[in-house]
Amino acid sequence: MLLPLISGFIFGIFIGSILPINFGFFIILFSLLIIIIIYRYFIEDKNKLVLTFILLTLVGFIGGAGRIYFSDLYTSSHLDNYIGQKITAEGIIVDEPDIRDSNTKLTISLRNIFLATSSIAVSEKILVTVPLYPEYSYGDKVKLNIILSEPKQIETDGRVFDYKGYLRVRGIWYTSRFTTISLLSTGHGSIIKNNLFKIKHAFTHSLDKALPQPESSLMAGLLLGTKQSLGKELLLEFQRAGASHVVVLSGYNIAIVAESIMALLKFLPKTLSFGIGTLSIILFTILSGGGASAWRAAIMVLVALFAKKTNRDYKASRALGFAILLMLAPNPLLLAFDPSFQLSILATIGLIFVSPLVSPYLIKVTERFGLREVMASTIATQIVVLPFLIYNTGLISFVSLPVNVLILGTIPLTMLLGFITGMVGLVSLYLSYIPAIFAYALLWYQLKIVHLGAILPFGAIKIPAFSQLILVIIYSIIFIILFRLRKIK
């Protein structure tokens, strides 16, 4: 009976995200709930199961709507009175600096706003754009002269990106581009995150010394989710080739890392390996930046480890539901305003439910090197995520399947060699060249395949923008067809 509760919870969050709700809305829902509970006692037993299902769904819906009602979406900011004004403030950098080609974006939690005769204590995050130099780090306390502005929707080729909602998911209320900033002190962040970021910087620096560009940046993207230094042109090539998921730390990469960690800990007692493995996966996810797809994968892997430790059956569908619930409970805005969360869920649905339907049609494809599994997974995820990607980017890639089939099988070995290269490089640069040679060969191959796929004439085409209603209709048709195929099977 968890299914109706979870489904109702998710639907309640969704409705609360797209439609304004108020206290009267909950009075109606609670009244309906009471009516159903009373009515349930006066009907025949054979109908009680259906009514119980409806009752649980409504309870979940009320919980989801209530959670979104008490989120940031329905609260106001203490900074509302200062929009457009030039103010002086103090704050702490609470996330890793996002270094771009020509500037750096800093997520700062403001602590004080200074007025002419007094100061006001606040605790809200803003996103500021500053020059590349001087450099700032996580945990730095800074003083700022800022002009707050409300994030605007970004429109490209008729497609609108809700930038305000995207930032609100991350707890960010306002932005400031013309920022004067100065360092006051350091070391105000979490000790754990601070040390993890130091390890990350040392590791990426080790990769940079052992591997040339752009291979070093691609390896950093595979292992740690850092892709900015690849450059816009190369990122566009990955997009045109339908391989964008490779250069970010996706659920696929997290699963590879988790399997590697558990394989290394096999020699330890079961309880100890479970504890160390769990902690390692959590820390690695934090180190990678903790994106929605990474946390989704990490939670599902941890559920699998727990099931194995307690000798229980692991069902990926239940693990996915648990991951969605665990992520939406603290941050319900993910559902409607975070494309990476939406894409990760759709891709996982493809792997769990659609891949088994596709696999029988690939019986003639060899199982050597995991080729059949790679093809089935790629086709399944493309079926489910392609409409969403076209809706958001307008780009449809006709070379996505061959490109992914050619490179995905090489990713685990590439990540292993990259990890060895980075770790050995912390001790000796010259010794790190040994694994780096083999890692470079694989990275060069992957970049070459992507480049060839991207430059093919008509390898990718642009699709005109279309409405959300059309997207819903497309997915309705896809899921009806898949449901019938599953029923036939």
Statement: residue 220 has pLDDT above 90: no
Q: 303: which residues sit within 8 A by CB, 6+ positions away?
A: 314, 318, 319, 322, 323
Note every long-range contact of 185-193, with CB atoms under 8 Å and residues 24 or more positions apart, other chains counting: 185/140, 185/141, 186/137, 186/139, 186/140, 186/141, 187/139, 188/92, 188/139, 188/140, 188/141, 189/92, 189/93, 189/94, 189/138, 189/139, 190/139, 192/283, 192/286, 193/138, 193/139, 193/286
Q: What local confidence, expressed as pLDDT, does residue 227 receive? A: 60
| Integer Cα distance of 229 and 215 in angstroms | 11
Statement: residue 370 has pLDDT above 60: yes
Tokens of 242: 């339908």
Statement: residue 108 has pLDDT above 90: yes
Tokens of 251: 């659920």
Confidence of residue 223 (pLDDT cuts 50, 70, 90): confident
Statement: residue 368 has pLDDT above 90: no
Query: In this prediction, what percent of the chain has a pLDDT beyond 70?
Result: 96
CB 321 within 8 A of CB 353: no
| Integer Cα distance of 300 and 323 in angstroms | 6
Q: What local confidence, expressed as pLDDT, does residue 250 receive? A: 61
Spell out the domain ranges in the chain.
Answer: 2-70, 80-189, 196-488
Tokens of 48: 């009680």
The residue-averaged pLDDT of 14-28 equals 90
Give me the CATH code for the 80-189 domain, please.
2.40.50
> For residue range 225-240, what is the model confidence (pLDDT) as tens digits?
766 567 778 888 888 8
The residue-averaged pLDDT of 291-316 equals 81
**CA nearest neighbour of 455 among 240, 208, 231, 258:** 240
Lowest mean per-residue pLDDT among 44-53, 78-87, 395-404, 430-439:
44-53
Tokens of 454: 């991207």
Lowest mean per-residue pLDDT among 168-182, 297-311, 321-335:
297-311
Q: What local confidence, expressed as pLDDT, does residue 69 receive? A: 92
CB 116 within 8 A of CB 98: no
The residue-averaged pLDDT of 11-22 equals 90
> For residue range 436-486, what is the model confidence (pLDDT) as tens digits?
999 999 999 999 999 999 888 888 888 888 888 899 899 999 988 888 887
Q: What local confidence, expressed as pLDDT, does residue 259 receive? A: 73
Rounded to 5°, the CA angle 199-171-23 comes to: 150
**CA nearest neighbour of 82 among 162, 164, 176:** 176
Q: What local confidence, expressed as pLDDT, does residue 438 receive? A: 95
Per the prediction, the chain carries an average pLDDT of 85
User: How far are the Cα atoms of 56, 125, 242, 299 from residue 251, in angstroms, in the given order?
Assistant: 31, 27, 16, 10
The residue-averaged pLDDT of 328-354 equals 89
The residue-averaged pLDDT of 416-445 equals 91
Q: 370: which residues sit within 8 A by CB, 6+ positions away?
A: 409
pTM (2 d.p.): 0.85
CB 116 within 8 A of CB 85: no
Tokens of 388: 């969403």
Q: What local confidence, expressed as pLDDT, does residue 44 receive? A: 64
Query: Taking the CB of residue 446, how many other CB atoms lie within 10 A of it?
Result: 24
Rounded to 5°, the CA angle 1-297-171 comes to: 90
| Integer Cα distance of 437 and 450 in angstroms | 20
| Integer Cα distance of 251 and 184 in angstroms | 38
| Integer Cα distance of 286 and 284 in angstroms | 5
Lowest mean per-residue pLDDT among 39-43, 177-181, 218-222:
39-43
Query: In this prediction, what percent of the chain has a pLDDT beyond 90?
Result: 22
| Integer Cα distance of 177 and 175 in angstroms | 7
Statement: residue 434 has pLDDT above 90: yes
Confidence of residue 174 (pLDDT cuts 50, 70, 90): very high
